[in-house]
Structure 1
Amino acid sequence: MNAFRDARLSLGQLPPGAGGTLADVPGVRVGHHTIAHGEGANAIRTGVTAILPPGDPYAEPLPAGVFVLHGHGKALGLWQILHLGELETPILLTNTLAVPRCADALLTWTLARHPSARSVNPVVLECNDGRLSAIEARPVTEGDALAALGAGAEHVEEGCVGAGTGMVAFGLKSGIGTASRAVGSFTVGALALPNMGRREDLRPPPGLPAPARASPPDQQGATGSLIVVLATNAPLSPEQLSRLARRASLGAARTGAPATTESGDFTVAFSIGWRIPRGVERIPMELIADRSPTMGGLYRAAAEATEEAIYSALVAATPLAGRDGQVVPTVVRP
């Protein structure tokens, strides 16, 4: 189970999936590559996290949708998903200044499998870890991103790993968090990268001690971002997946995520329930009705899994000394 459940915490109305992670969606894997070295002003605390869907996403893209709550971010590849509804590469998460190098890695990864490809839409999402890491040194390389892709596994490690290494949320050490929900035979999994909010914004769930208020108030938390990736095995259309992605914002709001004027709040949702083979004229598929109870359950699952994933990122985080020796406190586990 995820760190949230391991701490004997629970929330919501729906049951978690078997493992309580994004990888409860069959075939989905997550890999991390962590970069942590140096001290003082030159300390590096960053990394890359890869979300790999099953199969070959370039040969058979997956239906996908996007929701942008606030767009102060440097995400790459979302426009094509919004217009074509297809995910054709894995998804990489990293720091703000490493987006181009991670895009290069996705191009290299795809071209190694499809040398004849002449157009590839790499999907990269980011949060700024400059508070704890010398982001301006641009330490992430294409090789680091390829290492994250190569580390994909069904076990989803949480906390200060990969892209989560330098994250701070609600004035507390954050990182990678994950959760899942079951809706009948379907699963919705969420992976969150929270990097937003001040201490006074946090609304802890029952059982999680409220942290002491920062004095003076933490003004750095007034800016920051939140990335969420949703996966499901429910056969949903791109339009339905975009609506599913919107529900992630409901779960984030329950935690106290503020979505400020300088935040990048992005959610990408994809389904493994059917494929869009490249070049076909017609696609036979059987979708879930928009007004069905099942669709309502999937919406609830997206909100609950996102909320839990954000809390799990806080619970899983461990102490870390960042640039200039700065140590951000961690949440008190129950």
Structure 2
Amino acid sequence: MDDPYKTLGVSKTASQEEIRKAYRKLAKELHPDANPGDKAAEERFKNVSAAFNLLSDSDKRAEYDAAARAGLGSQYASGGMGGGRHQRSPFNFRQGRQSGRGFDDIGDIFSDLFTDFGAAGAQQSHQPRRKGEDLRQSLVLDFMQAAEGGKHRVVLPGGRSVDVAVPPGASEGQVLRLRGQGHPSATGGAQGDALVEIRIREHKYFSREGDNVMLDLPITLKEAAMGAKVRIPTIDGDVDVRIPPGSNSGGLLRLRGKGFASAKGARGDQIIRLMISLPERDQALQEFLEAWSPADGHDPRKGLKS
């Protein structure tokens, strides 16, 4: 792996939030689902994921930075130090021994190395079996896929694919835990988990508020004034709704149980907001309105007067 900072396009002083934002942006662009058959994008996706796994771990990042200052950054990033990418480096790269006088004394170099190897071995023999590190990945779903749930394939950092069971009504930012799908433990403990964050694409006419589905419904002036039965979309398919006579723009209709499933199993509603839509040119309507005036001097802006 190349320099992880360059791979993610961030500075060496970048905060964890900056690193996370850069990763999410690149992962969305390079995800195999968005680039089917593109081997170059798939390889970049793997490199970006590996870079994020390194830099998002404060201990690994500190070790890499220390290795880079010693001129061994590329060996660390590629897993050349310590025998593997998930193991800690046997070198401590202690600043105090290097910054004051450099490596003028070759005896000090070997002294440091043997001291560090001995300390690492002593610690390993006494340290408890710790769980492996977790992996983090995102899963991008369409609005309807989030509503319906189901199984979806995710490519984890390193190229391994797993199926994720998405519950109906999944929400933006929800994290699904895949137990035992993370990094192996360096001390013989349980394997880490994979944490999959749900991302949902915007829909062309549906939106979501909590467990409710929102829909702006265009209607004609006649439908608003006279009332009508119209066919509208829901996440379960098309249904007929009745528009009451004398409806106004902004009026709300509610379809109970036509929203997203909640964590308790119940479903939200679909909220319909009526929006009167006038034609651009309608000579007959214009002539009618020129001769028409509201009954009883109706003033729609009466409430705005002081």
**TM-score of the pair, normalised by structure 1:** 0.21
Q: Comparing both chains, which one has the higher relative contact order based on Cα–Cα distances under 8 Å and sequence gaps of 6 or more?
A: 1
Return the TM-score normalized by structure 2.
Answer: 0.23
Give the number of the structure whose alpha-carbon radius of gyration is greater.
2
Higher helix share: 2
